[in-house]
Amino acid sequence: MTDLYAVIGNPIAHSKSPLIHKAFAQTTGQDLDYVAIEGPLGRFAETVDEWRNKGLRGLNITVPFKMDAFAYASRRDAAAEEAGAVNCLTFDGAEAEGANYDGVGLVRDIEANLATPVKGRNVLVLGTGGATRGALGPLLAREPARLTVAFRTPGKEQELRALFPHAHALDFAAYADLDAPYDLVLNATSATLSGEAPPVPGRAFARGALAYDLAYGKGLTPFLRLAREAGVGTCVDGVGMLVEQAAEAFLRWRGVRPETKAMIERLTVPLV
For 17-63, how does the pLDDT look when each residue is reduced to its tens digit (9 = 90+)? 999 999 999 999 999 999 999 999 999 999 999 999 999 999 999 98
Percent pLDDT > 70 in the chain is 100
Dist. CA 213–CA 205, nearest whole Å: 14
pTM exceeds 0.85 for this model: yes
Annotated binding residues for NADP(+): 214, 238
Dist. CA 129–CA 138, nearest whole Å: 16
Higher-confidence position of 166 and 200: 200
* Domain co-membership, 95 together with 190: no
The predicted pLDDT at position 64 comes to: 92
**Taking all residues of the chain, what is their mean pLDDT, rounded to a whole number?**
95
CB 98 within 8 A of CB 68: no
Is residue 28, in this structure, part of any structural domain at all?
yes
Is residue 222, in this structure, part of any structural domain at all?
yes
Dist. CA 87–CA 100, nearest whole Å: 5
* Domain co-membership, 112 together with 53: no
261 given a catalytic annotation: no
**Confidence check: pLDDT of 212 > 90:** yes
| CATH assignment of the domain containing 45 | 3.40.50.10860
The predicted pLDDT at position 272 comes to: 80
The predicted pLDDT at position 233 comes to: 84
pLDDT by residue (tens digit) across 248-266? 999 999 999 999 999 999 9
Dist. CA 27–CA 144, nearest whole Å: 35
Annotated binding residues: 15-17, 62, 87, 102, 214, 216, 238, 245
Is residue 260, in this structure, part of any structural domain at all?
no
* Domain co-membership, 94 together with 135: no
The predicted pLDDT at position 204 comes to: 98
Dist. CA 85–CA 163, nearest whole Å: 14
* Domain co-membership, 50 together with 72: yes
User: What are the two backbone dihedrals, phi and then psi, of residue 189, each rounded to the nearest 5 degrees?
Assistant: -85, 175
The predicted pLDDT at position 69 comes to: 97
* Domain co-membership, 112 together with 233: yes
Its domain, for residue 87, covers 3-100
pLDDT by residue (tens digit) across 64-122? 999 999 999 999 999 999 889 999 999 999 999 999 999 999 999 999 999 999 999 99
The predicted pLDDT at position 20 comes to: 98
Annotated binding residues for shikimate: 15-17, 62, 87, 102, 216, 245
CB 254 within 8 A of CB 32: yes
**Confidence check: pLDDT of 1 > 90:** no
Q: How would DSSP label each residue in the chain? A: --EEEEEEESS-TT--HHHHHHHHHHHHT--EEEEEEEPPTT-HHHHHHHHHHTTEEEEEE-TT-HHHHHHH-SEE-HHHHHHT--SEEEEETTEEEEE--HHHHHHHIIIIIS----TT-EEEEE--SHHHHHHHHHHHHT--SEEEEEESSTTTTHHHHHH-TT-TTEEEEEGGG--S-EEEEEE-SSGGGGT------GGGEEEEEEEEES--SSSS-HHHHHHHHTT-SEEE-THHHHHHHHHHHHHHHHS-PPP-HHHHHHHPPP--
Which of 66, 156, 218, 261 does the annotation list as catalytic?
A: 66
* Domain co-membership, 70 together with 161: no
